[in-house]
């Protein structure tokens, strides 16, 4: 079975606000990181792992840069 979609809007009001605020990041991660839980991408787990490491590195760099500026 396929995993649930990340683009389903939650029902609760507070969760909906957080979902809308995080939608650009969710979309970017969805488009650049293949979901190896699906049948089509199952053999490409190395790409998923590599893209995850790249995104963690990028977010960490931006976080440290912003803390340095602050």
Q: What is the mean pLDDT of residues 14-23?
A: 94
Is 23 part of a structural domain of the chain? Answer: no
Return the structure tokens found at 45. Answer: 């787990």
- Domain for residue 49, yes or no? yes
Has residue 27 been placed in a domain? no
Name the token pair of 63: 């976080």
Closest CA to 23 of 10, 34, 41, 12: 10
Identify whether 4 is part of a domain: no
Task: Quote the pLDDT of residue 30.
Answer: 92
> Residues with Cβ < 8 Å from 34, sequence gap 6 or more?
41, 44, 47, 48, 51
**Is 3's pLDDT higher than 80?**
no
Residue pLDDT, tens place only, 30-69: 999 998 888 888 899 999 999 999 999 999 999 999 999 9
For residue 46, being part of any structural domain is answered with yes
């Amino acid at each position: 079975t396929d995993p649930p979609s990340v683009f389903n809007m939650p029902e609760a009001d507070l969760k909906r606000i957080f979902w809308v605020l995080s939608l650009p990041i969710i979309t970017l991660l969805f488009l650049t990181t293949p979901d190896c839980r699906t049948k089509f991408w199952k053999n490409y787990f190395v790409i998923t792992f590599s893209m995850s490491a790249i995104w963690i590195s990028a977010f960490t760099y931006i976080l440290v840069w912003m803390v340095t500026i602050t």
